[in-house]
C-alpha cells in the first residue's frame, strides 16, 4: 500500500518515516523546495532524535512539492499542515481547507480516497471537510497525535492510546493496522465521530494543564508556608492516590510549547461558542502567567548576593529548539528586565532569543535557576 502525507514538518516527517519503516511505500509533499531536495538526497537538519537515521535507511520514501502528485498516487493521505492559533483561541485551519481544495480541483478521480487530518482542528471542522468532499467521494478521518517535541519518534511508537475519528469501519480497521505496525507497544485504539475526537484532543491537553497548574499552585502555597523542601514529598503522596496519579503532578516552571497553551485556549473558545463560559481554562492560563512572576520574585529573593543568574536551558523543554510560550524563557526575560545579567548554557535557541542573554558556560560565580 502506498501512503501519502501532505506537510512533512517536524511531526509529519516522523510519522512518514515510521510508516515507511513499517513496510509501506510513502510519498510526502512539502512546499519547501530545498527541503524536499534534501529529503530525496536523504539529508535533513533536525533536533529530533532518530529521524536522520530513519531517513538514511528509508528505501521506499519519496518527497515532492506538489500536493496533487501525492493525492494522485495514494489512496490514504495524511495531512499535518500548520494550524496556527487565532486571537479568538480558535485554530486557523485555512491550510487544511487548501488541501481539501486540492482534492476537489484534481483532474483525476479522487473517489474512494481517504484524507486523514492529523493536525489539531476545532471541533466540527472535520465534519465540514467531509461535507465539502462528499460529492467527490472522499472520506475524511481525524487522527491527531499525542506527542512531545524532542521525543516524537519514541512517542509515536509508544502511544498510550490512538485516537481515530470517522464513520467508516473498514477504513478504521486499515488505520488501526497501520498503527499496530509502527507501534512497539499495544495502545488502546479509540474510535468515535470526528467531532468527538476533536474534543478529546483538546480536552486531554486541557486536563494536563489543569493538573500542572494545580501542582504549581500547591508548590507556591508550600513555599510561602516554609515547606518548600517537602513539595515533592507532598505531591508524591497525592499522586499515589490512584484517582490522581503521579504523571504531570510535579512542581516546576509551568506549561508551554506549541500545544498545551493553544489547546487550552481553543477548548475555552469552543465552550464559549456552545454558550458556556469555560472559566477553568482561562483561570489555568492566568495562573500559568502569574506563576512566572511568582518564580521571578522567588529567585530574586533567594539570590541574596545579587549574582548573575544562569539557566541550563530556556526552550520550553530541555533538548529542543522550540521557545514557543516557554515559561523558562519568560522567567529569563523577567530577570533581564529587573537588571540582572543572565547566562544560558544550551544554545539551541540562541537565534530566537533576546540579545542581552549570554550563551555558554559562565566564567564567573552565578546563581543557578533550578527547581
Q: State mean pLDDT over 81-104.
A: 97
pLDDT digits (tens, 9 = 90+) for 302-354: 999 999 999 999 999 988 899 999 999 999 999 999 999 999 999 989 999 99
How many CB atoms neighbour CB 335 within 10 A? 21
Q: What is the pLDDT of residue 282?
A: 85
- Picking from 131, 165, 192, the residue at the C-terminal end of a domain is 192
User: From the centroid of its chain, how far is CA 81?
Assistant: 13
Q: Are residues 275 and 143 in the same domain?
A: no
In a domain, 160, yes or no: yes
Domain count of the chain?
A: 2
All three cell numbers of 266: 481553543
pLDDT of residue 319: 84
- Decide if 2 contacts 24 (C-beta within 8 A): yes
All three cell numbers of 205, joined, read 491537553
> 290 and 176 in one domain?
no
Tell me the three cell numbers of residue 46. Answer: 533536525
Q: What was the pLDDT predicted at 360?
A: 96
What CATH number does residue 345 fall under? 3.40.50.720
pLDDT in tens, 241-280: 999 999 999 999 999 999 999 999 999 999 999 998 777 8
Supply the pLDDT for residue 12. Answer: 97
d(CA 103, CA 71): 7
Buried b (16+ CB within 10 A) or exposed e, 288-306: beebbebbbebbbeebeee
The answer to whether residue 197 is domain-embedded is no
In-domain check, residue 20: yes
Confidence of residue 222 (pLDDT cuts 50, 70, 90): very high
State the pLDDT confidence band at 362, using cuts at 50, 70 and 90: very high
Give the pLDDT score at 140: 98
Lowest-pLDDT choice from 54-63, 191-200, 282-291:
282-291
Q: What is the mean pLDDT of residues 50-77?
A: 98
* Dist. CA 51–CA 184, nearest whole Å: 17
Residue 203 has pLDDT above 80, yes or no: yes
Cell numbers found for residue 153:
519518534
Asked if residue 43 and residue 159 are part of one domain, the reply reads yes
Task: Report pLDDT for 281.
Answer: 83
Q: Is the pLDDT assigned to residue 136 strictly greater than 80?
A: yes
**Whole-number percent of the chain with pLDDT over 70:** 100
Verify that 45 and 150 share a domain, yes or no.
yes
Please say which residue of 150, 171, 192 terminates a domain: 192
Q: Assess whether 162 and 298 both reside in one domain.
A: no
How large is the average pLDDT for residues 152-170? 96
Determine the pLDDT at residue 279. Answer: 75
Same domain flag for 182 and 206: no
Query: Which of the four pLDDT bands, split at 50, 70 and 90, describes residue 108?
Result: very high
pLDDT in tens, 295-306: 999 999 999 999
Q: Are residues 233 and 172 in the same domain?
A: no
Give me the helices (H) in 30-149, please.
33-40, 51-57, 67-73, 94-105, 125-133
pLDDT at 92 over 80: yes
For residues 230 and 173, membership in a common domain is answered with no
pLDDT band at 47 (very low <50, low <70, confident <90, very high): confident
Question: Which pLDDT score, from 0 to 100, does residue 111 have?
Answer: 98
53 and 93 share one domain: yes
CB 256, CB 327: distance < 8 Å: yes
Residue 83 β-bridge partners: none
User: Does residue 87 carry a pLDDT above 80?
Assistant: yes
Q: How confident is the model at residue 37 (pLDDT cuts 50, 70, 90)?
A: very high
Share of the chain above pLDDT 90, in %: 94
Domain closes at, from 149, 166, 192: 192
DSSP 144-213: -----TT-HHHHHHT-SEEEEE-S-HHHHHHHHHHHHHH-SS--EEEEE-HHHHHHHHHHHHHHHHHHHH
For helices 279-302 and 260-273, give the axis angle rounded to 10 degrees: 150
Q: Which domain holds residue 49?
A: 2-192
**Distance of alpha carbon 121 from alpha carbon 142, whole angstroms:** 9
Same domain, 182 and 314: no
Return the pLDDT at 35. 97
Do both 217 and 180 map to the same domain? no
Which of 199 and 279 is assigned the larger pLDDT? 199
Mean pLDDT of 287-301: 98
Whether residue 209 is contained in a domain is answered as yes
Based on the domain organization, do 179 and 31 belong to the same domain? Answer: yes
- Distance, in Å, from the CA atom of 315 to the CA atom of 331, rounded to the nearest integer, reads 11
Amino acid at each position: 500500500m502506498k501512503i501519502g502525507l501532505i506537510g512533512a514538518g517536524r511531526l509529519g516527517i516522523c510519522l512518514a518515516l515510521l510508516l515507511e519503516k513499517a513496510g509501506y511505500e510513502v510519498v510526502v509533499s512539502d512546499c519547501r523546495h530545498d527541503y524536499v531536495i534534501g529529503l530525496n538526497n536523504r539529508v535533513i537538519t533536525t533536533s529530533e532524535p532518530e529521524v536522520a537515521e530513519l531517513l538514511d535507511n528509508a528505501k521506499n520514501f519519496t518527497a515532492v512539492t506538489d500536493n496533487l502528485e501525492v493525492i494522485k498516487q495514494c489512496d490514504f493521505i495524511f495531512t499535518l499542515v500548520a494550524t496556527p492559533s487565532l486571537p479568538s483561541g480558535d485554530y486557523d485551519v485555512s491550510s487544511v481547507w487548501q488541501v481539501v481544495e486540492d482534492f476537489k480541483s484534481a483532474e483525476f478521480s479522487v473517489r474512494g480516497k481517504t484524507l486523514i487530518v492529523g493536525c489539531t482542528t476545532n471541533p466540527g471542522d472535520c465534519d465540514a471537510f467531509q461535507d465539502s468532499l462528499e460529492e467527490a467521494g472522499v472520506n475524511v478521518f481525524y487522527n491527531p497525535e499525542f506527542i512531545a517535541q524532542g521525543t516524537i519518534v519514541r512517542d509515536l511508537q509508544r502511544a498510550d492510546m490512538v485516537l481515530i475519528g470517522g464513520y467508516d469501519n473498514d477504513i478504521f480497521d486499515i488505520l488501526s493496522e497501520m498503527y499496530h505496525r509502527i507501534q512497539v507497544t499495544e495502545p488502546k485504539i479509540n474510535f468515535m465521530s470526528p467531532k468527538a475526537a476533536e474534543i478529546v484532543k483538546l480536552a486531554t491537553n486541557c486536563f494536563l494543564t489543569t493538573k500542572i497548574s494545580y501542582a504549581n499552585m500547591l508548590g507556591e502555597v508550600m513555599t510561602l508556608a516554609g515547606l518548600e523542601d517537602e513539595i515533592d514529598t507532598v505531591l508524591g503522596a497525592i499522586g499515589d492516590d490512584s484517582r490522581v496519579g503521579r504523571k504531570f503532578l510535579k512542581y516546576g516552571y509551568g506549561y508551554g510549547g506549541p500545544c498545551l497553551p493553544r489547546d487550552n485556549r481553543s477548548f475555552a473558545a469552543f465552550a464559549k461558542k456552545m454558550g458556556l463560559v469555560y472559566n477553568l481554562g482561562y483561570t489555568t492560563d492566568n495562573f500559568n502567567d502569574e506563576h512566572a512572576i511568582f518564580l521571578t520574585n522567588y529567585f530574586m529573593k533567594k539570590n541574596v548576593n545579587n549574582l548573575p543568574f544562569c539557566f541550563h536551558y530556556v526552550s520550553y523543554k530541555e533538548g529542543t529548539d522550540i521557545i514557543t510560550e516557554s515559561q523558562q524563557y519568560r522567567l529569563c526575560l523577567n530577570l533581564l528586565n529587573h537588571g540582572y545579567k543572565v547566562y544560558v548554557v544550551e544554545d539551541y535557541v540562541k537565534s530566537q532569543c533576546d540579545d542581552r542573554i549570554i550563551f555558554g558556560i559562565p566564567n564567573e560565580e552565578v546563581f543557578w535557576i533550578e527547581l
